[in-house]
């Protein structure tokens, strides 16, 4: 019997790290008798197909994606299969039954990664802004802390995506509770690779399966100033840009250029720490009561926050806002320049192959032109160049 490990999230709990590692180490997994079916994008499309989700631009690829993935998993006769996609955490009971029942000859495990609320709520707000929302930090955290008031859509989204116990209950109706495994995300300062080691233990993978790739992988997070710039930018561009276009600009244009900026980091302000600590303690107590299998340290779910400032995350000074705007503009300029270069390369790809004579003549003209420019630039520093420049001007050429 083949074991199938369904990694269903939760969102903002290192899922990108896990999925990138799985995809990059797919050959090593295969050598260990483990199938990572179809690849990361195909798994996401299969999850979309199962739960009814759609993303602009992928609509035509979704229908049938779930059936294709199930066929690959069903036909595998090795040791194990890993299906990792956080959108599975949104599955309703009938969708959970459909997924599990589609693998009648396999033993299904559920793996859920979870992180302390102090980091989760901050990361979730960042992601909401990145996805085009204009909700301020105060509006967001108020809705998460009290689902009965504030922004109803924020509260509903938080409950459906980050309520570990509710997700566990949904899947426990079909999967035996002893096969629902919780992986805790380590606290800040943990050795690199700790999360992947815990995930490997939860999915019965060899502990050395990951190699050393993670040493060069880093997720670039926005600082408070840059995120406030993007939040304000959303008010102007979401609408004229589709959400797909907006996300491309942010993820491929702005985020890569944020590495190395020294903006104030996104950490939970002190006035919310007691709430996050109480949430963590209650969650740990309930997991212990349920005797849920866990990998890592449950105490990691109780935040230890040493906030450097008492300011709100969206309380950004004019000076900070100016610096953040400059950083965002610089990132966009670099990305646009690279995009222009790629466009030029593509547009010139079909210009045909020049003859040897054309190449020789072109190189000769380029050399002459560059020498003229060099001479003009240094005319004030060299008498020979100065004389040549005067003669060039006199001729009117």
Residues 159 and 197 reside in one and the same domain = yes
CATH number, domain of 132, equals: 3.40.50.300
Residues 31 and 177 reside in one and the same domain = yes
pLDDT computed for residue 362 by the predictor:
75
pLDDT computed for residue 345 by the predictor:
74
- Whether the ω angle into residue 232 lies within 30 degrees of 0, i.e. cis, is no
Number of domains in the chain: 2
Answer whether residue 334 is part of any domain: yes
Residues 43 and 97 reside in one and the same domain = yes
Cα–Cα distance measured from residue 130 to residue 246, given in angstroms and rounded to the nearest whole number: 9
Answer whether residue 105 is part of any domain: yes
Residues 142 and 106 reside in one and the same domain = yes
Residues 282 and 205 reside in one and the same domain = yes
**Element housing 109 (H / E):** strand 106-114
Residues 164 and 192 reside in one and the same domain = yes
pLDDT computed for residue 282 by the predictor:
97
pTM of the entire predicted model = 0.83
Answer whether residue 70 is part of any domain: yes
Backbone angles phi, psi at 241, to 5 degrees: -100, 140
Answer whether residue 387 is part of any domain: no
Residues 305 and 336 reside in one and the same domain = no
Closest CA to 8 of 83, 62, 76, 102: 83
pLDDT computed for residue 371 by the predictor:
77
Rounded to the nearest 10°, the torsion over CA 230, 129, 255, 236 is -30
- Label residue 56 exposed, middle or buried (CB < 10 Å: 0-12, 13-18, 19+): exposed
Spatial neighbors of 343 by CB under 8 A, at least 6 apart, are: none
Q: What's the domain range around 257?
A: 222-265+317-351
pLDDT computed for residue 353 by the predictor:
65
**Element housing 233 (H / E):** helix 224-237
pLDDT computed for residue 231 by the predictor:
95
Residues 216 and 339 reside in one and the same domain = no
397 residues of the chain, pLDDT tens digit each? 999 999 999 999 999 999 999 999 999 999 999 999 999 999 999 999 999 987 776 677 899 999 999 999 999 999 999 999 999 999 999 999 999 999 999 999 999 999 999 999 999 999 999 999 999 999 999 999 987 766 778 877 877 889 999 999 999 999 999 999 999 999 988 998 999 999 999 999 998 999 876 554 556 789 999 999 999 999 999 999 988 899 899 998 998 888 767 788 899 999 999 999 999 999 999 999 999 999 999 999 999 866 556 788 989 999 999 999 999 999 999 988 988 887 777 776 655 666 777 777 777 787 877 777 777 777 777 777 677 767 765 665 4
Residues 198 and 240 reside in one and the same domain = no
pLDDT computed for residue 278 by the predictor:
96
Residues 276 and 207 reside in one and the same domain = yes
Residues 103 and 11 reside in one and the same domain = yes
> For 274-293, how does the pLDDT look when each residue is reduced to its tens digit (9 = 90+)?
999 999 999 999 999 999 99
Answer whether residue 356 is part of any domain: no
Residues 229 and 256 reside in one and the same domain = yes
């Amino acid at each position: 019997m083949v074991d199938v490990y369904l990694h269903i999230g939760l969102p903002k709990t290192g899922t990108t790290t896990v999925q990138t590692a799985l995809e990059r180490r797919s050959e090593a997994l295969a050598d260990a008798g483990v199938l990572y079916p179809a690849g990361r994008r195909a798994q996401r499309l299969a999850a979309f197909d199962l739960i009814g989700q759609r993303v602009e631009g992928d609509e035509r690829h979704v229908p049938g994606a779930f059936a294709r993935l199930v066929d690959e998993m069903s036909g595998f006769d090795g040791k194990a299969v890993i299906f990792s996609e956080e959108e599975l955490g949104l599955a309703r009971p009938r969708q959970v039954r459909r997924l599990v029942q589609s693998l009648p000859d396999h033993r299904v495990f559920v793996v859920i990664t979870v992180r302390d609320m102090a980091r989760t709520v901050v990361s979730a707000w960042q992601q909401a802004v990145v996805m085009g929302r204009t909700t301020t930090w105060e509006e967001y955290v108020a809705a998460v802390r009290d689902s009965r008031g504030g922004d109803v859509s924020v509260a509903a989204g938080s409950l459906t995506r980050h309520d570990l116990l509710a997700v566990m209950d949904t899947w426990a109706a079909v999967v035996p509770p002893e096969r629902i495994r919780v992986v805790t995300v380590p606290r800040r300062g943990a050795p690199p690779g700790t999360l992947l080691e815990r995930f490997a233990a939860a999915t019965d993978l060899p502990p050395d399966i990951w190699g050393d790739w993670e040493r060069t992988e880093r997720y670039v997070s926005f600082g408070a100033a840059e995120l406030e710039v993007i939040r304000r930018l959303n008010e102007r561009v979401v609408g004229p840009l589709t959400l797909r276009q907006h996300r491309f600009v942010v993820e491929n244009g702005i985020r890569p250029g944020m590495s190395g900026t020294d903006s104030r980091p996104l950490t939970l302000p002190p006035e919310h720490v007691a709430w996050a600590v109480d949430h963590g303690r209650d969650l740990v107590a309930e997991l212990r009561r349920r005797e849920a299998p866990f990998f890592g340290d449950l105490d990691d779910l109780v935040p230890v926050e040493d906030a450097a400032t008492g300011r709100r995350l969206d309380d950004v000074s004019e000076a900070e806002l100016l610096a953040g705007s400059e950083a965002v503009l610089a990132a966009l300029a670099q990305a646009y320049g690279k995009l222009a270069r790629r466009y030029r390369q593509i547009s010139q790809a079909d210009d045909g192959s020049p003859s040897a004579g054309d190449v020789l003549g072109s190189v000769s003209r380029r050399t002459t032109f560059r020498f003229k420019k060099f001479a003009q630039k240094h005319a004030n520093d060299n008498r020979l160049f100065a004389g040549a420049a005067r003669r060039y001007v006199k001729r009117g050429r």
